[in-house]
Amino acid sequence: MYEPIATPARPSAPAPTPTPAAPAHTPASTPASAANEPTPASVPAPVQPPAPEPFPKSGPAAGTDERSTAVFPVVRDDETVGLRVTGATPTRSAAADQPPVPTGGRAERRKAAKGRGRKSAAPAEPVIPAIPRTRMEARLAARALKDSPAVIASRAIGEIFISLGVLMLLFVTYQLWWTNVRAHQEANGTAHSLQDNWAKGGDKNDPGAFEPGQGFAIIHIPKLDVVVPIAEGVSKTKVLDRGMVGHYSEGKLKTAMPSAKTGNFALAGHRNTHGEPFRYINKLKDGDKVVVETQDDYYTYEVTSHLAQTSPSNVSVIQPVPVGSGFTRPGRYITLTTCTPEFTSTYRMVVWGKMVDERPRSKGMPEALTAG
């Protein structure tokens, strides 16, 4: 049986020890054994305990009963007299999980509130969409995932525009780059074939016997670094698109050959794409030289005048005495024609020149080709 334990008393000043009085005269009738028994000590009156302090002293107060002043350790929630498993981890009480209540002013309360906000800011769990419970709900959910007709139409239009853009880019690349590559290859091959044939003696054909598209001469424009074969006719597919310069030689557009004593040797060539041999003839100035090389001779012409723009139907510019050239009587002339402005064929640009030298191949190249 447990005895009640007195509440630990606050230490106080020790009570004064009573002074024993002088023993009175013991009557003779008192037994000797009774006289030898110890007299019990007097117990002080209990003192009303004050409010307990947070940390009481562990030792007993002087002059007090050790059993009444013994201090026991603080008993936690899990350290009760009930049975428990040895070595079990003590459980935390609900009060221990509660945040401390701030006791200070407004600033301390705000600081404590911010601290609780940081601790409670945990990442939210991803929301998992609910699985449709019925077939109708499943159909509605599947229909909601499908693109609307407007989205499908806009996507199709975007793909069409992208495809058109790619096609246009390929077309521009073909026109501005690939056609020049192929035309240069064909023109260079024709020029080399002509020179090889001339070196072997060639065929002494009459100039009028050349077939349409057949190369018979080479034009040199030293200022523009142009060396291109000249073919009979101005066919776009047989002559011009193959990188060569064409000679006006058919029907009403028939003009003289360089070997003629009088006449106008008129030529046409692309300004852009397909080799573009006449792209920069607008940069020719009066006095610049143009040389025509044939199987037997070199014919050197000197630029005399220009016509920046005229109608494509103005054939008077290639007449024996070309209109607008400044020539007033028959002579040995040359006319170069091409399209203008660049990358269009709206108008024609014209450059005129007159022959200043005729040299047989046996005497070597003219000064216009060796001066540079």
> Annotated active-site positions, please?
270, 339, 348
Of the candidates 317, 322, 243, 319, the one whose C-alpha atom is nearest the C-alpha of residue 278 is 243
234 pLDDT exceeds 60?
yes
In the prediction, which pLDDT does 280 show? 96
Q: What value does the mean pLDDT take over residues 177-184?
A: 91
CA distance 259 to 81: 136
CA distance 72 to 56: 10
In the prediction, which pLDDT does 50 show? 58
Indicate the domain borders of the chain.
184-370
Output the DSSP codes for 123-148. PPPPPPPPPP-SHHHHHHHHHHHSPP
74 pLDDT exceeds 60?
no
More confident residue, 264 or 134: 264
CA distance 71 to 7: 9
Of the candidates 231, 241, 229, 246, the one whose C-alpha atom is nearest the C-alpha of residue 178 is 241
More confident residue, 139 or 227: 227
Q: What is the CA radius of gyration of the chain?
A: 62
Q: What are phi and psi of 361, to 5 degrees?
A: -65, -25
More confident residue, 298 or 48: 298
111 pLDDT exceeds 80?
no
Query: CATH says 184-370 is which class?
Result: mainly beta
CB atoms within 10 A of CB 173: 11
- Per the rule left: phi > 0, alpha: psi between -120 and 50, beta: everything else, 133 is alpha
277 pLDDT exceeds 70?
yes
In the prediction, which pLDDT does 292 show? 97
CA distance 265 to 247: 8
Q: What value does the mean pLDDT take over residues 303-314?
A: 96
Q: What value does the mean pLDDT take over residues 60-74?
A: 49
CA distance 258 to 298: 9
> Which has the minimum average pLDDT: 97-111, 120-134, 173-187, 226-240?
120-134
Percent of the chain at pLDDT exceeding 70: 64
